[in-house]
Amino acid sequence: RKEVEQDPGPFNVPEGATVAFNCTYSNSASQSFFWYRQDCRKEPKLLMSVYSSGNEDGRFTAQLNRASQYISLLIRDSKLSDSATYLCVAPRSGGYNKLIFGAGTRLAVHP
Amino acid sequence: NAGVMQNPRHLVRRRGQEARLRCSPMKGHSHVYWYRQLPEEGLKFMVYLQKENIIDESGMPKERFSAEFPKEGPSILRIQQVVRGDSAAYFCASSPLPGTDFYNEQFFGPGTRLTVL
């Protein structure tokens, strides 16, 4: 089983839609997780951190389910500018110096 | 405040040549991380360095790859005798503090795209 696993998508949604991505992780000792956004051929940028059960920032909500070992990212009222690849990230046990990235979920928002 | 800088942005090498990738961390950051991203795959951790020290190189191939972060100047990722399988995007990230007990955001540079012919 991969350490961090994501559905690659693509998710094609119209503007204004609500879309959710899931990510599963294998290391039950992981305490915190992150969602990064990566635009085509650009560097990843931190979108949200998830330290407890969940975190909300505007149209974005991240939730953590420790029992089932998955993290979700919900995007409400999708904008064209949300089109990107969303990377689920977990730290390897022993600290946050080694981040494990999922392969990413592609989102395409169309008019 | 300039972000993480990497150069060159694109590098083309023939098989057997050497590739040198440079990374200048953000001002005030003394912790550097290198990642490799193959097409359609996630980023893979390679190495974590502090000034003049390699802290964790568990993700770096033992042969042909080396990294350094000297007291002065940028961090260098060096790939000797490149092969086609080395073609990838190499991203560098930096943070102000070590992420030992809690997460310190790693800020990523724009990456170097290496193509091996």
User: Which pLDDT tens digit goes with each residue over A35-93?
Assistant: 999 999 899 999 998 877 788 899 999 999 888 898 999 999 999 999 999 999 988 76
Smallest CA–CA distance from B109 into chain A, residue = A43
Q: What is the pLDDT of residue A28?
A: 79
Q: What is the pLDDT of residue B67?
A: 97
Chain A positions touching B102 (Cβ under 8 A) are 32, 96
User: Which pLDDT tens digit goes with each residue over B32-84?
Assistant: 999 999 987 889 999 999 988 999 999 999 999 999 999 999 999 999 999 99
Q: What is the pLDDT of residue B96?
A: 83
Q: What is the pLDDT of residue B100?
A: 57
Q: pLDDT at residue B2 above 80?
A: no
Using CB atoms, pick whichever of A44, A46, A96 lies closest to residue B99.
A96
Q: What angle do CA A41, A10, B34 make, to 5 degrees?
A: 35
Residues B45, A87: C-beta atoms closer than 8 Å: no
Q: Is the peptide bond before B8 cis (omega within 30 degrees of 0)?
A: yes
Q: Categorize the per-residue pLDDT at B102 as very low, low, confident or very high, splitting at 50, 70 and 90.
A: low
Q: What is the pLDDT of residue A93?
A: 66
Compute CA distances A90 → A42, A58, A76, A80, whole Å: 20, 23, 24, 27
**Can you say whether residue B89 is alpha, beta or left, with left for phi > 0 and alpha for psi between -120 and 50 degrees?**
beta
State the best of B10, B58, B103, B108 to mutate against chain A, taking most chain A CBs within 10 Å: B103
User: Which pLDDT tens digit goes with each residue over A6-30?
Assistant: 988 899 999 999 999 999 998 877 7
Compute CA distances B90 → A49, B19, B35, B46, whole Å: 24, 11, 6, 10
**What are the residues whose beta carbons fall under 8 Å from the beta carbon of B64, sequence distance 6 or more?**
B79, B80, B81, B82
Residue A81 DSSP symbol: G
Residues A97, B100: C-beta atoms closer than 8 Å: yes
Q: What is the pLDDT of residue A87?
A: 95
Per-residue HEC secondary structure of A19-71 comes to EEEEEEECCCCCCCEEEEEECCCCCEEEEEEECCCEEEECCEEEEEECCCCEE
Q: First vs last Cα of chain A: how many Å apart? A: 37
